[in-house]
Structures are given as structure tokens and as C-alpha cells.
Structure 1
Amino acid sequence: MTVEITNPWTGQVDYRYEYFDAAAVEQVLARSQAAFPTWSGLSLVERGGFLVKVGANLREHRERIAGIMSAEMGKLHREAVAEVEKCAGACDYYAAHAIDYLADQPISTEAARSYVTYEPLGCVFAVMPWNFPIWQVFRFLAPGLMAGNVALLKHASNVPRCADVIAEMLQLAGIPDGVLGVLHVDNATAAEVIADPRVQAVTLTGSDKAGRSVASTAGQSLKKCVMELGGSDPFVVLDDADLDLTVPLAVSSRFGNAGQTCIAAKRFIVTEKIADAFVQRFVEAAGKLQVGDPGDAATTLAPMVRADLRDELHSQVSKSIAAGAKVLLGCVPGMGASHYPASILDSVKPGMPAYSEELFGPVAAIIRVKDDADAVRVANDTSFGLGASVWTTDKARGEAAARQIRAGACFVNAIVRSDVRMPFGGTKSSGFGRELAEHGIHEFMNIKTVYVA
């Protein structure tokens, strides 16, 4: 099957490629199986040396990689460069810390010696999304490779060159053939790969719908999986918030990456006392965002990745307006092949898509509440549980609210972000398992008890 890659800004077909046939898939799987004994047999110091070289390659080629991201999924050039740098940092981090994370852990028992040791599982199959096409991969790849696992990557169909350039960075570092295998395949073939006995575990970043499908397939084969799914993150503004701090970061959290971020602020839950002041300043700041070519340094709001996803977002917006939401900004498809303007809806209520569904694009939903308790109630009134932020000049008050919000991460006076030093993941329909930090490297390992009487 031929796949066409359309530039999100120009609407022109930039690239065509073919899905792998059965023979090509088998070849990749066989190479992966053959690579595991050699790769897992290396010492942590040796694997770390390779990973440091990968990080150096990413930095050396960052401009080219950023250009690929901008062309394939429309990311602003400066955001793309920052993403590549973050991946290089993850390589350095795990190269430096994996020895401590994977050291045997002595356990005091009646035995002469007893301890926990960590062993790689084998081949981890990753199904990855387009919105952070390099970072999402390295979130699992850097710890996975340091753990001694090998990897298979099925990237989103619209970012094939991002997948290929990641493989190139590993090849340039001298990492053996088969340690990372790229599979350009459709979803049906991906399901077959999950069931293949040579695959030991599965990780997916994507929508909750995709997660349910992949987790079900993995479950049928009794394979460990990690699911990092969607979110409808609350951005809770308490009545003593510093708006000079809060408003610019609200704009950044909602409209960065054209709003196409699982941990972006989506529901702005604002207490009544400060609501009018916050909304006025938020609308004014968001209205200054400059749309345009993602490669242009003057552009501050990128296009959405595809026209069909823009249309799906606009349908959610239109239904919310029909149900009584008030338009404060935007909410009409704009210029470019798949652009949607910075948009803000006020008076969002239960029953509206903007209240209960993930808006995966540059649309903010304002929900006005009475007080702290009401804000926490609304923050938890969602099927998702990925991230949340609370904004207040009283840090103890903010932390108290954050501890009551059911999510994988709660930030006080800072926007939610993934950080290689801290575990990342969600709860409820936002998935299960953790990436990054020590927790992430342990997810795809056999945690083995050794007892010597």
C-alpha cells in the first residue's frame, strides 16, 4: 500500500512510501531476535557508551531532524530543535544513571544471601504517535536500550522519515543491526507483530481508543504493556493566583505544539473571584499568537497535523457552542492546509464536548467554579487522569489541591511537562505504567528474586 505524506502547512504531498510486505516484516523480526543476545550481553558501561554517541549524533544533526519534523507534522522549528535536544539529554541521563538503577538490591532475609536483580525481557514493540515524533520514541528507547532490551518501532504513518532518522542516529553510533527495527506497517500488521512470540512487551503512546485496542491484543498474548494515553488536563486557577505568571504559561501550555499535546492544559478551571481578570488577559495574550509557516521564526502557532483532525476538532467546538458555550476567540478554521486559530470557549458546562472530551488542538475551555473544593471536584470530573496544574501564591494551598486531583502528575505554579528525572504516566483512561526516571527503566525488565540459603 502506498502512503502519501502531506505537508500540514502547504497541503502538498511531499513524500510517498510503501508499507512493508510480510517478507520485510519477517526480516526485521528475525534481525531483532538475532540482535538480543549480543546487545544484552554487553555491560552497562558499553551500552552507555553507545547511547552517549546517539545523543551526540542527535545534537550534530538537530537542524536536519527538526526540518523533517516540521515538514511531516507541522511542528514549529524552534520547538522541534528543543525536542531533539531533549532526546539527547535523555540518552546522556540513562547512560549516567542506569548503573545505579539496575544494581542488584540486597534484601535482608534468613538466607545467606538474597537480593533482587533486573534482567531485560527481550524485544519491546513500540507503537508511537506523531505529535512528538522523536521524543516519544526516546522516552522508551533510551531506558529500554540501557536495560539490554532490543526494540521494534511502528511509528505513526504520517512521520515515516522521523522513524528512519532515529534508526540512522543509532546506526551512526555503531549500535548493532537489529537493536532497533523500524516497521512501516498498518494497524492490522501491527496486531500480528504484537502476537508474535519474539515480541516480549508492548508500549503505546496515543489515544485511549488506540490504547484499548493495543492493550487488548497484548493481553491476549499475556504480554506486559505500558499505555500512555490521552488527557484533558485541568489548569486550576485559584483566587489568589499571580496572573503575571499564570497567563503567559497558560498560553504556552494550551497552544504549544498547536495544542496537540497529551499533557497540554485543556480545561481552565477558574474560581469566580479571579475569573474575569484571568479570562480577559488570557484572551488578549492568545490573540497575539502569529499563525504561519512552521519554519518561519515569526510563527508562534503552528498548523495542526492534518485537515481531518482539524475538522474533527471544529466539530467538537461547534457542538459545544450549540450547547451554550460562548466564543471568546477564534473557533473558525483558518488559513493553511490544516490551520486552526487560537480559540477560547467560555461558560463550558457538563454535557458539552469541550467539558468531557479531549480537545487535541488549539482550543481552551473556560470552566468557572466557586472555590477550591469546587475546582478540585471539576478537575476530577473526567475520565482522564494524566496531568494537572494548580496556580496560587500560597504554595501550601496549591499543594493541598494538587494532592486531591487524581492524575499521574500534578504541578503547582508550573506547566505540566515530562522530565527524564521523574516518572511519567497517567491513571484512569489516561493509561497505566510509567516512563522515564528509575520507574521507566524497570517497566520492561524481569524483576527477579535470587535466594541463596
Structure 2
Amino acid sequence: MTTELRRLRNYIDGEFRDAADGRTTEVVDPSTGEAYATAPLSGAADVDAAMAAAATAFPAWRDLVPAERQKVLLKIADRFEERAEELIAAESENCGKPVALVRSEEIPPMVDQIRFFAGAARMLEGRAAGEYMDGLTSIVRREPVGVCAQVAPWNYPMMMAVWKFAPALAAGNTVVLKPSDTTPASTVLIAEIIGGVLDELGHSRGVFNVICGDRDTGRLMVEHKTPAMASITGSVRAGMQVAESASKDLKRVHLELGGKAPVVVFEDTDIAKAVEGIAEAGYFNAGQDCTAATRVLVHESIHDEFVTALAKAAADTRTGAPDDEDVFYGPLNNANQLAQVKRFIDGLPAHAKIEAGGHQVGEKGYFYAPTVVSGLKQDDEIVQQEVFGPVITVQSFRDEDQAVEWSNGVEYALASSVWTKDHARAMRMSKKLDFGCVWINTHIPLVAEMPHGGFKKSGYGKDLSGYGFEDYTRIKHVMTSLDG
């Protein structure tokens, strides 16, 4: 007996549509490895239609007073709360995430972030008008950039969609959003929610559009002549491709890419508390987080004790099915990601030692055991490259200077943390660490008011905060003669 797969569809100009040429791709539940839905494999005709809808809707949306855009976003946040269980179910099936953790760790911050940007819509700031030349007054205007082409990743499909559409809509832009080809379900549901709110409040549903597809679909979006800005959260390779494509017509680009966060643990740290926080920040979401605490540098005087404690924490951490309330994380998102994690572990150098885990879990789905690897050197591949799995590496450092050198000695620069009771040392490290975020005695908390974004190959531009909001605006100088 064959189970009929659910059919997901694009959302363009307020209508759910199949791909123009009828092509589809299967969507797999990573906790079972089995397909549960099909989604459109959108092509040029679909991209054209979505961009046309967004472009048509843009003038009226741009010209709304900010208070009206705020009403829309606040209503969207309300709907997210009202339909939370639907969103949780879709995201859990999308990603295999534990239901309880999506409910507690994703829905509340998403709602809060939408409401933050609803408020930000009314707080566009610029320099005061003034006379900088005799007889002339200058004014600075902040304006929306236009249509935004946005590509969200598969590790946090819902939350990253919020990080993209909320500031863009608040600033007066219109959106064409593409989810990952492996995780379209929750984004399609978001389109239904937002479309309903726009319709209810009398605005064009073309303000927000969703098209499903693969890398080629994303490429078509970025290369399209209509959008003024392309925003992507994804791999370094994808970010480079987007930047190259966007350069052909000088689109603005917003890139949040990979990470390889150093976690620097000094000898005065409370080891038990540090291990607890680091294990949680390293294994949350199966380590599929650009800011994950997966590269630990620990002072040589406490190295052995720390590794023993971390290995025990790994052994005590459970992975399993989404409906199991006792598991901390679910499967890796897809078969390719599972293969990548296996490749890193299978390719470990002889001097490395697996202290915990290092193997797949179960016969169904893409589960991988919480893993700790010690004995590593700075130039080892697993230290230098992003694993994006539940794998924590440990290196032993000699002194503060070496900790800084090794921390900064990778191509990524998104997030980092320092664990010490010495306030002066923490301040020195926060200055020297070349990362967009430095946590002290914690790792991974994010708040809507503070910026998130990196340097180097972790990309550029900020998510969240007023800085993230401003990224979706442009600045215009207006000068007027006082002579009339």
C-alpha cells in the first residue's frame, strides 16, 4: 500500500500554485528517511511571476505610514501564536526536531522578533536636518530598497524566515522568499498565515511570496533583474555564488554564512558549569548551527579533567524521535549532511582520539551520536572546517596569546565565547577575538535587540537589532534652497 504524499505549493500573489512546468521534488522526513510530501521545483517562469507580484505590490507597501506596516507585523505575530501547534508540527516534520524544543525554544523568540521589527518600523532614525552650506538645508531620508530576494537555510527554516521577512517588510520592502529544498513545509505555512493577514487588513498579498526549489531556483532569483537586494543564510560556497551573481548588476547583498566558533576555557573556570553550557550549545539542534560551540580550546592545566567531564556529558545527551520528550536533539537534516559528518569522523588523523560518540544512531533516519574528539592540532581539517553536526573538538592551549592565535586562525568569524572568572582577561579576549559575537561565560543566547552577523568568510550584514533593520534600507540626501 502506497501512502499518498502531501502536495506543497508555491505562494505567488496570494495564490497557491504548482510550478509552471509541473516539476516537483520529494521532501523527506529526516527522522525516518522517508518522503512525506512533494514541493514545486520552480523555474524561470515561477521566479518571474513571484518577482512581478512583489514589484507590483511594492509602491503601495512602501508608501504606507510605518504604523500601518506595524499593524500587519503585530497581527502576523498574533497569528504565529494562535497557530503555534501547526507551525511546530510542520517544523518538526521538516527537520525532525523534538516537538518540545520547537515549542519552547523557537516559537517564543520568533514571535518576539516579529514584534521587535514591528516596533522598529516606527523608529527609522537619521541625522537631523541642518544647514551645511549657506542658504541650503539638508535632509537625510531612509527608504526601503525595493523587492528583496531571500533564501533561507534548512537548519532553522522558520526562524531564519522570520529573520528575513520581518525586517524587510517592516522597512517597506516586498519579499520573494525561497526555503531550502529539504525544508519547505513550514515556510509554505508561513505564507498562508502572512497572506491571510495581508488580505484581512486590505493589503496586496503580493507583498510576500514563497517559491520552492533547489539551488538553480535560488540562482534564478539572485540573477533576476527585479530585486534590489539578495539575502541568503547558507554555506560559504553558496554565499560566494550569490555575491558573484549579484555583482553583475550591483545588487545589494546580505550574507550570513558558516561559522567555526572558538570556545576558550581558561584554568579558573568552573569546569562543571562550563561543560554543561558548552555541551548544550554544541549539541543543540544536532550541532547544525553556525554559532554552535563545537571548537573548544581549553587550558592545558585542566585539559584532561575537562575532556573527561565533556565526554560524560556527551554520553548523557540523547538524540531520538521528535515525539520523545527526553531527547535533546533530533536527526541531521538530510542524507548528504549525515554523509558529511561521517566523512569528517572517518577521516580523523591518527593523533586524534574519539572520546565519545563517533557513530550513527539507529537504522532509520539521519541520527548521529553526540561526539567529542580530542588530541587535535590547529591545522587539522576538522578544526578548520565547519562540520555542522553534533561533534565537539577539543584542543589544549598554553597561554592567552596562543588561545587568541588559534581562535582567530580559521576562515570563519561569526561567533565565539570565553570562559573565565577574570574580568580583565575576558575584556582583553573580547577585544582580540575576531568574531561578530563574543559571549562571556555563556554561549549561543540571542536577543532581538542585539545584532547577529560575522566577518571574513562568515559573510557580512547583520540580522536582528536596529542594525539588521537598517540593512533593508537605503539612504537618500535631499537638499533644498532656502531662497524658495
- The corresponding residue for 2:100 is 78
Q: Which residue of 1 aligns with 2:433?
A: 405
Give the equivalent residue in structure 2 for 1:349. 377
CA distance in 2, matches of 1:212, 1:99: 34
Give 1:189 shift: 3.3
Contact in 2 for aligned 1:230/1:429 (Cα 8 Å): yes
**TM-score of the superposed pair, with normalisation by structure 2:** 0.90
Q: CA deviation at 1:18?
A: 2.7
List runs of 5+ in structure 1 lacking aligned partners: none
Q: CA deviation at 1:159?
A: 1.2
Within-5 A mapping of 1:159-308? 159-174=183-198, 175-308=203-336
Q: Match for residue 88 of structure 2?
A: 66
**Matching of residues 135-150 of structure 1 within 5 Å:** 135-150=159-174
Superposition map of 1:36-185 within 5 A: 36-81=58-103, 82-102=105-125, 105-106=128-129, 109-110=132-133, 112-174=136-198, 175-185=203-213
- Between the aligned partners of 1:246 and 1:106, the Cα distance in structure 2 is 50
Distance 2:235 2:324 in 1: 30
Whole-angstrom distance in 2 between the partners of 1:450 and 1:417: 41
The alpha-carbon distance between structure 1 residues 72 and 240, as it changes in their structure 2 partners (threshold 3 A), is same
Question: C-alpha distance in 1, partners of 2:273/2:95?
Answer: 30
Question: In structure 1, what is the Cα distance between the partners aligned to 2:354 and 2:395?
Answer: 13
Name the SS for the 2:32 alignment partner.
coil
Residue 221 (structure 1) shift:
1.6
In structure 2, what residue type is equivalent to 1:194? V
Matched to 1:403, the amino acid is K
Deviation at 1:437, TM superposition (A): 1.1
User: Aligned residues: percent identity?
Assistant: 29
Alignment of 1:437 with 2:465, yes or no, is yes
Residue 379 of structure 1, CA deviation? 0.3
Task: Identify if the C-alpha distance between structure 1 residues 107 and 137 changes in structure 2 by more than 3 Å, giving closer, same or farther.
Answer: farther
How much has 1:50 moved relative to structure 2?
0.5
* In 2: Cα distance, 1:328 partner to 1:137 partner: 37
- Corresponding residue number in structure 2 for 1:5: 27
CA contact (8 A) 2:272 2:309 kept: no
User: Aligned-pair distance for 1:25?
Assistant: 2.9
Q: Is the 8 A contact 1:114 1:450 kept in 2?
A: yes
Aligned-residue offset at 1:188: 2.3
Q: Is the 8 A contact 1:409 1:416 kept in 2?
A: no
Partner letter of residue 136 of structure 1?
Answer: M
Structure 2 distance, partners of 1:14, 1:185, is: 16
Moved more, 270-279 or 224-233: 270-279
TM-superposed deviation, 1:312? 1.1
Matched position secondary structure for 1:199: coil
Amino acid of the structure 1 residue aligned with 2:339: D
Within the candidate set 316, 320, 327, 2:354 is matched to 327
Residues 401 and 449 of structure 1, relative CA distance in 2, 3 Å threshold? same
Alignment match, 2:420: 392
Q: Deviation at 1:103?
A: 5.5
TM-score between both structures, scaled by the size of structure 1: 0.96
- Tell me, in whole angstroms, the C-alpha distance in 2 between the residues paired with 1:451 and 1:199: 28
Superposed CA RMSD in Å reads: 1.6
TM-fit CA distance, 1:396 = 2.3
Deviations 1:163-217 (A, max 9, x none): 2111112123225311111111332233232222211110010010110111110
State the 4+ residue runs in structure 1 displaced beyond 6 angstroms.
none
Deviation at 1:427, TM superposition (A): 0.5
42, 58, 63: which one aligns with 1:20:
42
d(CA) in 2 for partners of 1:192 and 1:243?
50
Cα displacement (A) at 1:75: 1.6
Instruction: Tell me, in whole angstroms, the C-alpha distance in 2 between the residues paired with 1:193 and 1:207.
Output: 17
Q: Cα deviations across residues 248-274 of structure 1 (Å, max 9, x unaligned)?
A: 110111000010000101110001112
Residue 381 of structure 2 aligns to which amino acid in structure 1?
A: P
Report the 3-state secondary structure (helix = DSSP H, G, I; strand = E; otherwise coil) of the residue aligned with 1:134.
helix
Gaps of 5+ in 2: 1-22
CA contact (8 A) 1:395 1:412 kept: no
